[in-house]
Structure 1
Amino acid sequence: MNTPHAPHTPPAQHPGAPVRSGIPEHGRIPKYYAAKVDIAALLDTLGEGQPLPAERDLAQRFEVSRETLRQALRELILEGRLRRLGRGTVVAGPKLAQPLSLASYTEGVRDQGRRPGRQLIGLDRFPCPPVLAVDLGLSAGDPVWHMERVLLADDERVGLESTYVAVERVPDLDTAFAPDSSFYAYLHEELGIGFGDADERLETVLATPREALLIGTPGALPMLLIHRFSRDTTGRPLERVRSLYRGDRFSFTTHLGPRAGG
């Protein structure tokens, strides 16, 4: 019987690693976790996009069963260290660090040297329901747009965005706006609408079967969901946005300052 070995403590240059590499104080760790840490160390020696050795070879190398190895690989995929490519598994690149700010998705991705893009799923116009009317400062029944787009980074599908905005604010959205471009840039440059402030709520969810199909991910993959309510520079409600991001490809950053009176 194989005896699980304690993984090495991550070096100091990995400040985001778990304390003591996730080993509990009693020192007993599951075999899959020991294999996971060993594979993670192997990934550090490989470059982005490099294929992982075959499961059989890895199982022999780390002295674990194929099923134990697969559990370790599943966790590394969920964490974004690995990704499936065809019938194989390759080393994933670093996560996209999207700022929690009024900057657009396009700006955030471009700032990291990636090529942003969007693929239109649907653009519909319908009478605004009462709940949405409150958010957008409208009367129930006023016309509203719903625009749904897949988010891309270097042609990789990484999220899904749903935008609700009053037709009176952007009457020509269906004819004058290029759906693969930045909506914020269109509002500012073409319509002279500036963003003043916004409220956001961030939570973790699982994608619905439809969302997983559109984004191209397994249904069990954790997703990061952001609800945003934006206002223009006059304080008037502007948009409601629901953005779903792949948990294995995104992290979010923000700057914190001292609280007034604290």
Structure 2
Amino acid sequence: MVIGSTASLHEQVRAALAQEIQDGRYDDSGRIPSEPELCERFGVSRITVRRAVSDLEELGIVRRRQGAGTFITKRSDVLGTMAIGGFADQISEGGEKSRAIMRAVTTTADAARASALGIPTGSPIFVLERVFRIDGLPLALDRSVYSLDRYPGFAERISDDTSTYRVLREDYGVHFAEVRREVRLGYTTAQTAEWLQRPEHEPLIVIEKVALDRDGAVIHTSHIESVPSRVTLRTVAYEERPA
């Protein structure tokens, strides 16, 4: 421990473990030492170690697995956000992928949503809010809006396990030609903090997305909120070739 430090014991343990994880001190399994091992190593109580590890879990740095131990959360290659495919399709590596619908509402478009979708104000729309997870750990919240005049019956086709992009392609013959994104900083609200299992007012990566078809019509809009410690955003640039 750090002699003379003003930080509490659990903060010192947390800082030491976080630094070791950053330095790559642990083997390929990603498993960190058990609570008894950490108690002995740092000369602190089990309560202190448990608080330190809980803090790391809150930060998304480690994850506890029942009966197996505590493991470093993999961050690399989690999300390639600049692909054309749907959100779940862009999660390139990791464990078991899952989606969960948090809210699904059929309503009418206000002026802002109508303008974004290129439809008349008051037109029927479907607002879908889902959390995407790997091994049960929330990565991001996606709030997407669809025109029900363009895709009648779309809301009834969507469940937790449904790929919206597959439904649009296979059931409505949609061809995705372009995806526009703007990336900025945002913060969790009381609701999104609960859904993403993060503290309230914590920073998020926010992506505003518009998908277009071959005719330039808007297929849908999305507002995506990603937990920075749980995703890596990847872009790929290609050499411009003469026509």
| Mapped partners of 1:175, 1:32: distance in 2 | 47
Number of residue pairs matched by the alignment:
227
| Structure 2 length-normalised TM | 0.76
2:214 to 216, 229, 233: 233
| Structural mapping, 1:23-34, within 5 Å | none
- Aligned in 2, Cα 1:105/1:167: closer, same or farther, shift over 3 Å? same
- Aligned in 2, Cα 1:114/1:121: closer, same or farther, shift over 3 Å? same
- Aligned in 2, Cα 1:179/1:212: closer, same or farther, shift over 3 Å? same
- Aligned in 2, Cα 1:228/1:139: closer, same or farther, shift over 3 Å? same
**Is residue 2:138 matched to residue 1:153?**
no
Structure 1 alignment gaps of length 5 or more: 5-29
| Structural mapping, 1:121-160, within 5 Å | 121-160=102-141
- Aligned in 2, Cα 1:189/1:241: closer, same or farther, shift over 3 Å? same
Distance apart, 1:140 and its partner CA: 0.9
- 3-state SS in 2 of match to 1:248: helix
User: Contact between 1:126 and 1:144, CA under 8 Å: does it hold in 2?
Assistant: yes
Corresponding residue for 2:101? 120
- Aligned in 2, Cα 1:46/1:2: closer, same or farther, shift over 3 Å? farther
| Structural mapping, 1:54-93, within 5 Å | 56-57=39-40, 59-60=42-43, 70=52, 74=55, 78=59, 80-83=60-63, 90-93=70-73
Distance apart, 1:236 and its partner CA: 0.6
Distance apart, 1:223 and its partner CA: 2.1
- 3-state SS in 2 of match to 1:102: coil
- Cα deviations by residue, 1:200-246 (Å, 9 ceiling, x for unpaired): 01123221111111122222543221110111111111111011122
Mean CA deviation greater in 158-167 or 44-53: 44-53
Tell me the percent identity. 16
Structure 2 alignment gaps of length 5 or more: 6-11
Distance apart, 1:190 and its partner CA: 1.5
- Aligned in 2, Cα 1:39/1:250: closer, same or farther, shift over 3 Å? closer
- Cα deviations by residue, 1:136-187 (Å, 9 ceiling, x for unpaired): 0011111111011121223332221111011112211232333422111110
Corresponding residue for 1:2? 3
CA RMSD of aligned residues (A): 3.5
